[in-house]
Chain A
Amino acid sequence: MATWAECAIGTILALLALGGGVTGSILVLLGPLGGLHLALDPVSALFLLVVCGTGAAAALECELPLLPVAVGALVVTLLAADGFILVLAFALASIALAPEWRGRSGLRFMAGGLLCLAAAVALLAPRNSGIDLRFAAMRSAAPEGLRAAAVLLLVLIGTGLHLISPSRPSPGGALLSGGKIAVAIYILVRVLFDLCGPAAPSWWGLPLLVIGAGTMVLAGLRANAADDLLAALGASRIGAVGLIAVGLGVAMTARGSDLASLSALTLAGALLHGVSYAVFDVLLVLCTGAVSRGAGSAVLSQLGGLIRSMPAVGMGALVGAACLAGLPLTAGFPGRWLVLQSLLAEPHPSRLWWHVVLALALAAVAFGSALQAAAAVRLVGIGFLGRPRTPQAAAAEDAPRPVRLMIAALAGSCMLIGLSPSALLALVQPALAQLLGVRLDGGRLLVIAAQADAPGYAALGIAAMLALAGGVVAWTLRQFANPAASRVPAWDGGMDAAPVGLLFGASATQYSAASAGLTVLQSFGYPAWRSNMQRWLKVSTALLQRRGAAGLGGALLLVLLGLLLWAVA
């Protein structure tokens, strides 16, 4: 199939670039503006790996007719070496991936995001002779002052709009939206770190840091309130983007203050988290697809007890949820650990506002991670453990063999990444060298650390100690303990055995999806806050509709078009 071929080619190119240092550029002599420039460099290669993996999994999951076009367009966006092909390919991919036009909100977000990115790219182009949108020309004419601030604002708004644009409500749609999010982050990294030149001011990191920290908390709350598996995974994806934004913000500020090692540490953490998140996100979405086919639904309040009826999918979901929670020795920990080290490490830019914001961002990152972990425990606990809540869940069938093999392979690679993060860090180092000029010197074979000879996170050492401890406990019990065990009906608060008609027990006497999240959410005041927020949003949308959304949208369009013309002329 075409998508598999595209993904295979993309992966080979990416591995060549990252492992072998093969980079290059070609000029495709067709199209306007003197041809379309494509180039392969380590940053593109890193995100190419993510997109190709996601695309291959999406080919397994859904039968979208435009899928090869969408994946091909995403790949071309990553390989683009001039602004025109970047925006054009991303627009093509967005159109091919757009959901069925339910309401017009999808179109608004997509169009808004593309227009902002186009304006940002146009603002970056040098003004000397005609329209030159090549990246090489942009690098040599770095923007300053008001133009730079406008570029920052536009690229942040554009990426944000793409992140919150809705996707198809299916596992394939979730995977593809993940791929689009990866490309949006790539555009953010490319514009802010590469095209704006090495002398970006240090306050640029501040909006990224603040937005990222806030996003993490909100996404964590949303994930705890989600009704079904896909909504929870989507909210967790936004939370991961929040952590990446925090890392990018600190890296930008460190670069602006000439703290090269700190910026390398943070950027390594952000990129590592992005790549490892993609792996277990694909794992969890594949498990969701298997659950919705095997148990008939992905809504949490209709699942339960799947770890017995779908053991392979249950194991995969357990590994994926452990990665989501950011537990040590899983794939979700190394990136998080590196970003935390950069928030804890010194030296830091010595300004008071930075310290206040940094400490607040650390608190928000910590809350976001803890909420994420609570959501992951709720996901597995309600969806896979306990007693089945519907007859379909009680009679669920495990996934067919190819899907089980895929899930097992992905779960294995999550554990591998968790046990030896240095391997993935070695893939990220070329991108660091390209963007910042330095590598993370703490990335050794068995340990990843902040500095070259400092102690750090030794995943294999901790794993060996855990295995040793478990072995000693098992041996001791074998020697001294009573080896028997017997099964009895669960006590369940003194309830008798279920009556004959209820074949799978009185399943309502266990926690439901809503109540499992409610304890945590109520302590934040989330239900009341959310209903207030929705009421406020309804009021503001009603206001917009009365004035005519067309009028407001038209005004916005005119402003952006004027910006484009001013930039190009």
Chain B
Amino acid sequence: MIALASLVLHAALMMTSAPLLAGLRALARARLLGRAGPSLIQPWRDLARLVRKHPVLPDTASWLFTCVPFVCLAAAIVAALLVPSFALGMLTAPLSDLVVLAGLLALARYALALAGYDTGTGLGGMGATRITLVAVWGEPAVLLIILVLASLAGSSNLDAIGTTLSEQPQGVLWFAAGVALAIVGFMLTGPGRDAAQLTLVHEAAMFDYSGRYLAMVAYAGQLGILVWLSLLAALFIPSGMASGGAGLMAWALGIVAWGLKVGALGVCLAVLEALAAGPGITRVPMVLGMTALLMWLAAVFVLASQRLA
């Protein structure tokens, strides 16, 4: 019962905060550039407006085009339910395997690429090929990060890793894995529709969406960023998280801690976006390849230190 209650609370929290996080990042970015910036709930207003609009569909698109937003959003919602936010030991804890999580996000990514191909336009194809480029270099890096984390914790289940990492103090390899996850997650989730873009990856593939379909795909993108930041917070800044079976006070503390952590990470993201030019699409293979190499070295160290001891 407690697990179910924590899951319901977690679902409500994630669903409502995803656009709020996007709003926070937009506000922080504007303030850093000297502007007043939009309101914090502006993304929610945008989603409500989009849902009321009359969408137009390209005449070259097939039934797949209207199904893909549902697939993307469903995959993003399930990913959000699998990643813990303020408490471990939710009802979905036995299901949340890191490899399955990576697969679900890959499902959303490739579905969007297929939607790009489906429009039959050059821009859609460009978005699709760029999505596959980022995926081809990002997924090995993700798997190597999972290898390091799973070797440190003994299982690839997210709850088990979270419990182990919060109980024992970890060293430099765990920090390296955190940095790697930050970089890789940034590349894979994409900064979203609001930020100034130097690389047209997701935007090109979802270019032809409008109305409720655009609302679904944009919301899925916002949920993706929240999932990534929650994963970082749960695995690498575990202080304040309630363990499984704790009471309401621990939950309240966990929610406050999670809000502070994700907010701080979002503001860091906004600082990076406002002050530094993001890597262009031609740099993506190099950045992700070096991350994969770093993680391969870390994996060798972890395996060697554990098994030879």
Q: Do A and B come from one complex?
A: yes
A residues touching B (Cβ–Cβ < 8 Å)? 304-305, 307-308, 318, 325-328, 333, 337, 340-341, 343-350, 352, 355-356, 358-360, 362-363, 365-367, 369-371, 373-374, 377-378, 380-382, 385-387, 447, 450, 454-458, 461-462, 465-467, 469-470, 472-474, 477, 480-482, 484-493, 505, 507, 509-511, 515-516, 518-520, 523
- Residue pairs across A and B with Cβ atoms less than 8 A apart, 25 shown, are A305-B120, A307-B62, A325-B110, A327-B107, A328-B100, A340-B99, A340-B143, A352-B304, A366-B139, A373-B135, A374-B132, A374-B135, A380-B117, A385-B120, A386-B119, A458-B94, A462-B78, A469-B73, A477-B212, A481-B52, A482-B52, A488-B59, A510-B125, A516-B128, A520-B132
Query: Which residues on A sit within 8 Å (CB–CB) of B100?
Result: 328, 337, 457, 462
Shortest CB–CB separation between residue B295 and chain A, in angstroms? 8
Known contacts: A359-B300, A474-B70, A485-B54. The answer to whether A386 contacts B92 by CB under 8 A is no
Does B97 contact A489, Cβ atoms closer than 8 Å? no
Q: A386-B117, A461-B95 are in contact. Are A348 and B303 (CB under 8 A)?
A: yes
CA–CA, A377 and B128, complex, Å: 9
A385 vs B110: C-alpha distance in the bound complex, in angstroms? 14
Q: Looking at the complex, which one of A318, A458, A470 makes contact with B74 (CB distance below 8 Å)? A: A470
For A516, the chain B residues whose CB sits under 8 A away are 125, 128-129
State whether B147 touches A455 (Cβ < 8 A): no
In the assembled complex, the CB of B6 is this many whole angstroms from the nearest CB of chain A, namely: 16
In the assembled complex, the Cα of A365 lies from the Cα of B144 at a distance in Å of 11
The 10 lowest CB-CB distance pairs between A and B, nearest first, are A511-B125, A381-B117, A490-B58, A366-B140, A387-B120, A350-B307, A355-B303, A386-B120, A328-B103, A366-B143
Is B114 a contact of A381 with CB atoms below 8 Å?
yes
**Chain B 92-108 interface mask (CB, 8 Å, partner A; 1/0):** 11110101100110110
* 5 further contact pairs, Cβ within 8 A, besides A305-B60, A373-B139: A304-B120, A380-B117, A472-B77, A490-B120, A491-B123
**Docked CA distance A461–B94 (Å):** 10
Contact, CB under 8 Å: B122 / A362:
no
| Residue of A whose beta carbon sits closest to that of B73 | A473
Q: Is the CB of B303 within 8 A of A358?
A: yes
B53 at the interface (CB under 8 A from A): yes
Q: Which of the listed residues A308, A360, A381, A485 has the most CB atoms from chain B within 10 Å of its own CB? A: A381
- Cα distance, A481 to B142, chains bound together (Å): 36
- Using a CB–CB cutoff of 8 Å, the interface residues on chain B facing chain A are 48, 51-64, 66, 70-71, 73-75, 77-78, 81, 92-95, 97, 99-100, 103-104, 106-107, 110, 113-114, 116-126, 128-130, 132-133, 135-140, 142-144, 146-147, 150-151, 154-157, 159-160, 207-208, 211-212, 215-216, 285, 292, 296, 299-300, 303-304, 306-308
Find chain B residues with CB under 8 A from A486 CB.
Answer: 54-57
Note all chain B residues with C-beta closer than 8 A to A492: 120-123
A-side contacts of B160, CB under 8 Å: 455
- Give the chain B neighbours of A485 by CB distance below 8 A: 54-57, 66, 211
Residues of B within 8 A of A489 (CB): 58-59
**Contact of B285 with A381 in the complex, beta carbons under 8 Å:** no
Bound CA span A458–B133, Å: 29
Chain B residues positioned under 8 Å from A456 (CB to CB): 97
Cross-chain contact of B119 among A455, A470, A490 (Cβ < 8 A)? A490
Contact B122 A511 (CB under 8 A): yes
- For B289, give the chain A residue with the smallest CB separation: A523
Question: With the chains together, A308 CA to B63 CA distance in Å?
Answer: 9
Report Cα–Cα, A318/B64, bound state, in Å. 10
Cβ-defined contact, A363 with B128, below 8 A: no
Q: Is the CB of B103 within 8 A of A487?
A: no
Please pick, from A447, A457, A470, the residue contacting B70 in the complex, using a CB distance under 8 A.
A470
**Interchain CB contact under 8 A, A326 and B95:** no
